[in-house]
Amino acid sequence: MTAPAAQGARRPADLSARPRFAPWSVPWSVHLPVPWALAALALCGLILSPLVSLTLEAVQGSGELWPHLLAYVLPQAVAQTAGLLLGVGLVVTVIGTGTAWLVAAYEFPGRRLLEIGLLLPLAVPTYIVAYAYLDLLHPLGPVQGGLRDLLGLTSPRDLRLPELRSLPGCILLLGFVLYPYVYLPTRALFLMQTGNLLEAARTLGRGPAGVFARVALPLARPAIALGASLALMEALNDIGAAEFLGVRTLTVQVYATWVNRQDLAGAAQIALVMLVVVIGLVAAERWARRGRGFSGSAQRPRTLARQPLTGARALAALGLGLAPVALGFLIPAAYLAHAAAGRLSRAGLPERLPGEILSTVLYAGSATLIAGAIGFLVAASPRLLSRRLGPGLIRVASLGYALPGTILAIGLLGPLALADSAFASASTAMFGAAPALIGLGTGGALVIAYLVRFLAVAIGTCEAGLARLPASLPDAARMLGRGPLATLARVQLPLTWPALMSGALLVFVDCVKELPATLLLRPLNVETLATHLYGEAARGTYEDGTVAALLIVLVGLIPVAVLLRLGSRAGRA
pLDDT tens per residue across all 573 residues of the chain: 444 444 444 444 443 343 443 333 334 444 445 666 778 888 888 888 888 888 888 877 656 667 777 777 888 999 999 999 999 999 999 999 999 989 988 899 999 899 889 989 988 899 999 989 988 888 888 888 888 888 888 777 777 778 888 999 999 999 999 999 999 888 888 877 655 666 666 666 666 677 777 777 787 888 888 889 889 989 998 888 998 898 999 998 888 888 777 778 888 888 888 888 888 887 887 777 665 554 444 444 455 567 888 889 999 999 999 999 999 999 999 999 998 888 888 888 888 889 999 999 999 999 999 999 998 888 887 766 666 777 888 888 888 888 888 888 888 888 888 887 877 787 777 776 666 666 666 788 899 999 999 998 888 888 878 877 777 777 677 777 776 777 777 777 888 888 888 888 889 988 999 999 998 888 888 899 999 988 888 787 777 888 889 999 988 888 787 777 665 554 444
Residue 324: name the closest of 120, 90, 562, 125 by CA.
Answer: 120
CATH label of the domain that carries residue 248? 1.10.3720.10
> 7 in a domain, yes or no?
no
> 82 in a domain, yes or no?
yes
> 311 in a domain, yes or no?
no
Residue 155 CA to residue 570 CA, distance in Å, equals 56
Residue 367 CA to residue 361 CA, distance in Å, equals 10
> 134 in a domain, yes or no?
yes
Helix (H) or strand (E) holding 107: strand 106-107
Quick one: pLDDT at residue 30? 44
308 bridge partner residues: 107
> 449 in a domain, yes or no?
yes
Residue 161 CA to residue 193 CA, distance in Å, equals 44
Contact indicator for 164, 137 with CB cutoff of 8 Å:
yes
Which residue segment(s) compose the domain that 115 sits in? 29-51+61-290+329-341+351-572
* CA distances for 384 relative to 31, 109, 334, angstroms: 7, 51, 49
107 bridge partner residues: 308
Amino acid at 23: P
Residue 270: name the closest of 72, 58, 51 by CA.
Answer: 58
- Report the 10 Å Cβ neighbour count for 35: 8
Residue 105 CA to residue 305 CA, distance in Å, equals 7
Contact indicator for 520, 403 with CB cutoff of 8 Å:
no
- Report the 10 Å Cβ neighbour count for 330: 14
Quick one: pLDDT at residue 435? 64
Q: Which residues contact 317 (CB under 8 A, 6 or more apart)?
A: 102, 106, 108, 309
Contact indicator for 133, 333 with CB cutoff of 8 Å:
no
φ, ψ at 309 (rounded to 5°):
-120, 140
Contact indicator for 311, 244 with CB cutoff of 8 Å:
no
Contact indicator for 106, 309 with CB cutoff of 8 Å:
yes
Plot region of 471 (φ>0 → left; ψ -120 to 50 → alpha; else → beta): alpha
> 310 in a domain, yes or no?
no
Residue 493: name the closest of 462, 470, 471, 464 by CA.
Answer: 462
Quick one: pLDDT at residue 29? 41
**What is the tally of structural domains in the chain?**
1
- Report the 10 Å Cβ neighbour count for 224: 21
> 164 in a domain, yes or no?
yes
> 520 in a domain, yes or no?
yes
Residue 262 CA to residue 258 CA, distance in Å, equals 5
